[in-house]
Amino acid sequence: MTNTTTSTILPFNQTNPMHSHIPFHSNTMTKPRNLNLTFLLQDIQILEIFLAVLVFIIIHSLRQKKHHGLAVWPVLGMVPSLVTGLRTNLYEWITEVLKRQNGTFRFKGPWFSNLNCIVTSDPRNLEHLLKTKFPLYPKGGYFRNTVRELLGDGIFNADDDTWQKQRKTASIEFHSTKFRQLTTESLFELVHYRLLPVLEASVKKSVAIDLQDILLRLTFDNVCMIAFGVDPGCLQLGLPEIPFAKAFEDATEATVFRFVTPTCLWKAMKFLNLGMERKLNKSIKGVDEFAESVIRTRKKELSLQCEDSKQRLDLLTVFMRLKDENGQAYSDKFLRDICVNFILAGRDTSSVALSWFFWLLEQNPQVEENILAEICKVVSQRKDIEREEFDNSLRFRPEEIKKMDYLHAALSEALRLYPSVPVDHKEVVEDDTFPDGTVLKKGTKVIYAIYAMGRMEGIWGKDCKEFKPERWLRDGRFMSESAYKFTAFNGGPRLCLGKDFAYYQMKYAAASIVYRYHVKVVENHPVEPKLALTMYMKHGLKVNLYQRDAAQIQKHLEDGLK
């Protein structure tokens, strides 16, 4: 009892375990709670500030879309929008941006990158850079360095004297009678002894074929005969895989990857031999091995002065017999570059254009009927019509191909909507101003969007998205358009040297197929462009072929005789 009382009345400052413990415990619990609350309030303020800044950046970037065509983000520039375009149809995406910006806009890449450029589809600007101020707009260092492994110093990658020398020599050959005869004869052989047998085999087996692949094989064999003077044999029954053809296609695909990748990044990948750069390195070796083998063989032929070698008219042999400005023979590397460039030009452009042509044809049956009627009308005018058998053995004559104006118009219309080269590149070497008022500083890269031009109402009218061959005809005759409105074959001093041959090649192959078969695309087959130097169909063109009804052909032939 006494102990309890005494303990209770002890002064507060005396030692008492209970009194000393309780106040201490209360303080340690209060301080952490206050500190946690303070930190929480600070975190909320920082978060609010961060969100406010983020909202401001988003609003500010999106507001610039109206002025610049695309949202401009800090550090990243317009790249986030470009990523969206790459995930869909890039060419359609560019078209929509150009429509909003009246035909020209300035693309802003990330800080410290070299992706800044002017993109245009204005015919006035194209005439300015392709013709009026041509010397100010070369391919430029950026383009040359990006495609150097594949194209080297060939005609499509060269500027100034190197380009002029190659173009002058090639122009002389392209316009010579013997060279024209070589091209028509080689095409005749390939169509009748390779293309048509392969197509007929698919009809007999009732199997679908990838028409784009077959057409690529046709033009590849043809251009190799013209450029190298060799026949790689791509288009044969069984469709064998040719290492050089595969390497060439892989190289073009890997090269395009560089144009949508910051230079520092793809150069780092090249140094480390990673990703697409590894693929490019491997494919370039395949291209070089083939070219070096052909060059060695040709040099041996020429040194022996074989009778056969004297008659050769291919571009490789022509350039081998020439001398450079120092009176020396061209190097093997230079000869390789020349031939690879012409293969790129001759292989992809015609075959890709024909693929889109046949796809459009199936969607427009009346156009197909009009083409068939024209073909029959032209051949029915032969003087020896009574002795001709118009079956699968029919052979078109060069002068007949030239008379097929509606077919020419239909192919031009396909190229307008789906140009083989959808975009092209230049670089300005002096400060300049476009006719539309766009100011360009020295070193500015310029992209002219050929695909977008075909879809501009201001250029082609409100029906610009329609497939209408009639827009190219005047009183039934084909009438060409300005090269700065229809830029599928470039324009100005760099106008495609092989334009006439390309049309002849496309018309001959198209007429030979349309006359014999109806081409029907496999149901639900996806058709979209692939991101490449040329506008391949991403998934090919799977089709079934159906033999033409003899009665239908006979009716058109009789109509042609009236």
How many Å apart are CA 472 and CA 384, to the nearest integer?
A: 32
Q: Are 550 and 376 in contact (CB under 8 A)?
A: no
**For the purposes of burial, counting CB atoms within 10 Å of the CB of 59, is it exposed (0-12), middle (13-18) or buried (19 or more)?**
exposed
Q: Determine contact, residues 73/61, Cβ cutoff 8 Å.
A: yes
- Locate 456 and state its tokens: 């501009």
Which of 110, 471, 456, 43 shows the shortest CA–CA distance to 263? Answer: 110
The residue ranges of DSSP E strands in 168-231, in sequence order, are 209-210
* CB proximity list for 349: less than 8 A, separation 6 or greater: 420, 421, 502, 534
Residues 6 or more apart whose CB falls under 8 angstroms from that of 153 comprise 162, 334, 337
Nearest to 413 by CA among 457, 458, 478, 348: 478
Q: Is 496 annotated as a binding residue?
A: yes
Residue 490 near residue 483 (C-beta atoms within 8 A): yes
**Chain position carrying tokens 């082609």:** 460
Rounded Cα distance between 544 and 451, Å, is 28
| Calpha distance 514→317 (Å, rounded) | 36
List, in sequence order, the alpha helices (H) in 364-449.
Answer: 365-379, 398-402, 405-417
Q: 3-class SS at 203?
A: helix
**Taking the CB of residue 266, how many other CB atoms lie within 10 A of it?**
21
197 Cβ partners below 8 Å, 6+ apart? Answer: 237
Q: In one letter, which amino acid is 387?
A: R
Which residue, among 97, 126, 135, has the nearest Cα to 486 in the 3D structure? Answer: 126
Encoding tokens for residue 145?
Answer: 């360095």
Which residue in 260, 190, 186 sits closest to 226, CA to CA? 186
Plot region of 233 (φ>0 → left; ψ -120 to 50 → alpha; else → beta)? left
Q: Report the C-alpha gap between 449 and 120 in whole angstroms.
A: 6
Q: Which of 500, 505, 543, 411 is nearest to 221 (CA)?
A: 505
| Residue 12 tokens, joined | 């507060």
CA 206, CA 521: separation in Å to the nearest integer? 14
Q: 481, 283, 469, 475: which is closest to 369 by C-alpha?
A: 469
Write the DSSP symbol of residue 77.
Answer: B
403 SS3 class: coil
Q: What backbone phi and psi angles, to 5 degrees, belong to 293?
A: -65, -45
Structure tokens given for 313 = 């008219």
Known binding residues are 496
Known binding residues for heme are 496
